[in-house]
C-alpha cells in the first residue's frame, strides 16, 4: 500500500540528498571516461536504445534511485494500476489507459468488470465507420463523400492526436493511405483559427469530429457551435430526398451526416444535436493526457490513415505497456526515464528539460536534419496536467516535482534558445534520434544526413561544440560568434539519448508508451 508519509521523509530520499554533493564534485568528462559505467548505463527494448551515460549520475546514484522507487512502492503501484484499482484517489477512479491498447483477448478489470471487450467494441465501431467514410459509402447531406476532417478539441483531446498525425504525415505507408484526404485540428478560439481550419474546405465534403472527454470544455464547445453553424448554414435546409436517415425536412439534418463526437458524456453529445449513434465513447478511467489511444486519437487518425495504420500505433504502445509492467527497473525504459527526471528536478535542481533531435557527426555549420515531429511531441508531453504541487494524499510537497518540458524542431532551437544554453545555462537535454529516416535523401556531393549512417557516431557529446574549449579555439574553428560562450564552458550538462530504429506507426506508439512516468 502507498505510504502516507511523504517520499522525502524516507531514508532513500535522504540518502540521495546527501549523495548530491558528491555528484556535483564529479565532472561528466570524468564520468564518461569510466567505460564500465558507460556500458552499464544503456537500456534496450525492441530495437530502441536508451543511453543515459551522460546523466550526472553514477551506478551508485542509480542504485539509490532504485531504492527510492522501492520506498515509493513503485512496483506495487504499477501492479495496482494494471489491476484496475482506484489509484486516482482524488477522483476515486482506475487509471487504465493500458486497456485502450490491450489485445482483444486480454483481461483488465475495473470495478470487477473486464473493460477490454468495451474498448474493442468502440475500436470495431471506429474501424467500420472510418472505412465507410474513406470508401465513400458514408456520404454527406448532398451525397458527396467526405474527404476532409476537422478535429475540434483542446489539451489532451488535441495535442496527442496532433503529435501522432505530425509524426505519421511523413511515413510512406501513411502517406499512401491518406492520399486525397486532409486532417485539420481546431483548438484555439481566436476566430482566425476557425477561419484557418475551414479555409479552402467545402462543408459538403467535410466531417467535423468534436473531441471532448467532458463535452463541457468552453473552448471546444464554442468551436463546435461555430462549425455546427458553418455546416447548418451551408447545408442545413436540404430537401428530404437528399438525406439518408432523415430527421425531417427543414431541420439541420446535415449535422447528422457531418458531425460526430468522441466523449465520455453521451448525454451532452445528444443535447448538442449529434446523433448518439455517431458518438464514440471512452471512459472516465482514461486521463486526458493519455487519451490519444482512445477514440480521441483513434477516430480522427483512422479517418485520415485507415484503421490498420492506427492499430500498429496501438500495438507499439501496448508493447511498451508489457515492458513497463514486467522489465526489472534497471532495464525498464519508462521507469529509468521517470527516475532520471526525479534526479534532475528534485535533487540536482534543474527545473527544465529540453527534447531535441540527435545531432549528427557533422560540424555545427552543417544544417542538421532536426525532426519536425518532435515539435508536436514536446507540446504533447510538455506540462499538460503535469504540475504536481501536492502528494497523492494532497499534502503540500516541500520540494520541486515535475519539470518544464520544452523544445522545438532542432533547427529552430539552434537559432534561438540553444544560444542561451550554449552560453552555459544548465538544462538537461534529451536527444532523440532515428536510425533510418522516414524519407531518406541522398544528394551526390552533399552531406545530407538521414541518420542511418549515424549508428556509430550517434552518441555525440551533447556539448561537443563548446565542451572544454576556450572562446579563442572556437573562433579558430569558425564557430559562429553567437554560439561562442564568454568563457570556457565546462559542458557539465546531463543529457540522454534515445535512438529509434525508424519512425513507423509502431515506433510512434512505443515513444508514446514511454510516457508512463514522464
Ligand X SMILES: O=P(O)(O)OC[C@H]1O[C@H](O)[C@H](O)[C@@H](O)[C@@H]1O
Choice between 399 and 518, CB closer to ligand X: 518
Q: Nearest to residue 261, comparing CAs of 217, 314, 224?
A: 224
Dmax (CA) for the chain in angstroms is 80
Question: Rounded to 5 degrees, what are φ and ψ at 122?
Answer: -70, -40
Count of residues engaged in binding ligand X, rule: CB under 6 A: 12
Q: Crossing angle for the helix pair 116-135 and 295-305, nearest 10 degrees?
A: 30
Choice between 154 and 434, CB closer to ligand X: 154
Q: Determine if 157 is a binding residue for ligand X (CB under 6 A).
A: yes
Choice between 34 and 219, CB closer to ligand X: 219
Q: Determine if 385 is a binding residue for ligand X (CB under 6 A).
A: yes
Q: What is the Cα–Cα distance from 396 to 400, expressed in whole angstroms?
A: 11
Q: What is the Cα–Cα distance from 346 to 320, expressed in whole angstroms?
A: 26
Per CB under 6 A, the segment of 42-50, 179-187, 214-222, 270-278 that binds ligand X is 214-222
Q: Give min distance, CB of 158 to ligand X, in A.
A: 8
Choice between 162 and 309, CB closer to ligand X: 162
Q: What is the DSSP string of 47-61?
A: TEEEE-TTSS--HHH
Q: Determine if 154 is a binding residue for ligand X (CB under 6 A).
A: yes
Per CB under 6 A, the segment of 47-55, 104-112, 211-219, 473-481 that binds ligand X is 211-219
Choice between 289 and 451, CB closer to ligand X: 289
Q: Give min distance, CB of 420 to ligand X, in A.
A: 29
Q: Determine if 220 is a binding residue for ligand X (CB under 6 A).
A: yes
Per CB under 6 A, the segment of 33-41, 154-162, 323-331, 442-450 that binds ligand X is 154-162
Contacts of 85 (CB under 8 A, 6+ apart): 94
Answer whether 99's CB lies under 8 Å from 50's CB.
no
- Enumerate residues 274-293 that contact ligand X by CB under 6 A: 288-289
Q: Extract the C-alpha cell encoding 278.
A: 455517431
Answer whether 153's CB lies under 8 Å from 220's CB.
yes
Q: Determine if 213 is a binding residue for ligand X (CB under 6 A).
A: yes
Answer whether 305's CB lies under 8 Å from 288's CB.
no
Residue 408 φ/ψ region, left for φ over 0, alpha for ψ in the -120 to 50 degree band, beta for the rest: beta
Answer whether 418's CB lies under 8 Å from 382's CB.
no
Q: Give min distance, CB of 155 to ligand X, in A.
A: 3
Choice between 288 and 409, CB closer to ligand X: 288
Choice between 158 and 343, CB closer to ligand X: 158
- Contact residue for ligand X among 61, 197, 217, 495 (CB under 6 A): 217
- Contact residue for ligand X among 212, 304, 357, 382 (CB under 6 A): 212
Nearest residue to ligand X, by Cβ distance, number only = 288
Q: Determine if 294 is a binding residue for ligand X (CB under 6 A).
A: no
Q: Determine if 297 is a binding residue for ligand X (CB under 6 A).
A: no
Q: What is the DSSP string of 187-242?
A: ----HHHHHHHHTT--GGGEEEEEE-SSS--HHHHHHHHHHHHHHHHHHSS--GGG
Q: Give min distance, CB of 218 to ligand X, in A.
A: 9
Q: Which residues of the shown chain bind ligand X in the complex (CB under 6 A)?
A: 154-157, 212-214, 217, 220, 288-289, 385
Amino acid at each position: 500500500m502507498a505510504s502516507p508519509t511523504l517520499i522525502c521523509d524516507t531514508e532513500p530520499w535522504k540518502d540521495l540528498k546527501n549523495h548530491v554533493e558528491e555528484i556535483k564534485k564529479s565532472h561528466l568528462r570524468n564520468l564518461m571516461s569510466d567505460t564500465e559505467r558507460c556500458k552499464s548505463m544503456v537500456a534496450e527494448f525492441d530495437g530502441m536504445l536508451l543511453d543515459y551515460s551522460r546523466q550526472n549520475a553514477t551506478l551508485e546514484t542509480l542504485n539509490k534511485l532504485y531504492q527510492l522507487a522501492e520506498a515509493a512502492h513503485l512496483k506495487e503501484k504499477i501492479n495496482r494500476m494494471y489491476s484496475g484499482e482506484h489509484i486516482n484517489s482524488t477522483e476515486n477512479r482506475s487509471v487504465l489507459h493500458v486497456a485502450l491498447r490491450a489485445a482483444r483477448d486480454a483481461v483488465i478489470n475495473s470495478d470487477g468488470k473486464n473493460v477490454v471487450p468495451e474498448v474493442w467494441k468502440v475500436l470495431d465501431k471506429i474501424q467500420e465507420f472510418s472505412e465507410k467514410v474513406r470508401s465513400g459509402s458514408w456520404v454527406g447531406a448532398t451525397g458527396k463523400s467526405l474527404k476532409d476532417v476537422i478535429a475540434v478539441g483542446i489539451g489532451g483531446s488535441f495535442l496527442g492526436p496532433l503529435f501522432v498525425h505530425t509524426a505519421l504525415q511523413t511515413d510512406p505507408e501513411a502517406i499512401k493511405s491518406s492520399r486525397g484526404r486532409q486532417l485539420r485540428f481546431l483548438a484555439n478560439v481566436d476566430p482566425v483559427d476557425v477561419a484557418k481550419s475551414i479555409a479552402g474546405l467545402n462543408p459538403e465534403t467535410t466531417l467535423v469530429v468534436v473531441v471532448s472527454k467532458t463535452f463541457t470544455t468552453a473552448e471546444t464547445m464554442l468551436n463546435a457551435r461555430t462549425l455546427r453553424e458553418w455546416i447548418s448554414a451551408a447545408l442545413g435546409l436540404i430537401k428530404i430526398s437528399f438525406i439518408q436517415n432523415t430527421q425531417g425536412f427543414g431541420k439541420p439534418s446535415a449535422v447528422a451526416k457531418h458531425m460526430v463526437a468522441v466523449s465520455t458524456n453521451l448525454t451532452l453529445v445528444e443535447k448538442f444535436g449529434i446523433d448518439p449513434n455517431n458518438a464514440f465513447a471512452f471512459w472516465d478511467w482514461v486521463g486526458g493526457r493519455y487519451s490519444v489511444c482512445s477514440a480521441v486519437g483513434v477516430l480522427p487518425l483512422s479517418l485520415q490513415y485507415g484503421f490498420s495504420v492506427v492499430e500498429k500505433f496501438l500495438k507499439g504502445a501496448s508493447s511498451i505497456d508489457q515492458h513497463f509492467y514486467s522489465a526489472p527497473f534497471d532495464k525498464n525504459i519508462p521507469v529509468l526515464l521517470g527516475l532520471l527526471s526525479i534526479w534532475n528536478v528534485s535533487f540536482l535542481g534543474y527545473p527544465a528539460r529540453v527534447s531535441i533531435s540527435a545531432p549528427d557527426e557533422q560540424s555545427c555549420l552543417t544544417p542538421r536534419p532536426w525532426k519536425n515531429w518532435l515539435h508536436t511531441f514536446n507540446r504533447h508531453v510538455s506540462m499538460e496536467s503535469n504540475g504536481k504541487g501536492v502528494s497523492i494524499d494532497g499534502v503540500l510537497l516541500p520540494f520541486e516535482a515535475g519539470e518544464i518540458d520544452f523544445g522545438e524542431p532542432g533547427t529552430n532551437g539552434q537559432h534561438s534558445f540553444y544560444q542561451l544554453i550554449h552560453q552555459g545555462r544548465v538544462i538537461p537535454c534529451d536527444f532523440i534520434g532515428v536510425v533510418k529516416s522516414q524519407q531518406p535523401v541522398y544528394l551526390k556531393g552533399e552531406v545530407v544526413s538521414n541518420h542511418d549512417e549515424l549508428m556509430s557516431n550517434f552518441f555525440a557529446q551533447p556539448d561537443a561544440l563548446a565542451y572544454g574549449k576556450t572562446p579563442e579555439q572556437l573562433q579558430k574553428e569558425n564557430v559562429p560568434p553567437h554560439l561562442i560562450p564568454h568563457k570556457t564552458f565546462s559542458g557539465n550538462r546531463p543529457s540522454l539519448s534515445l535512438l529509434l530504429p525508424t519512425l513507423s506507426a509502431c515506433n510512434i506508439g512505443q515513444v508514446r508508451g514511454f510516457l508512463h512516468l514522464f
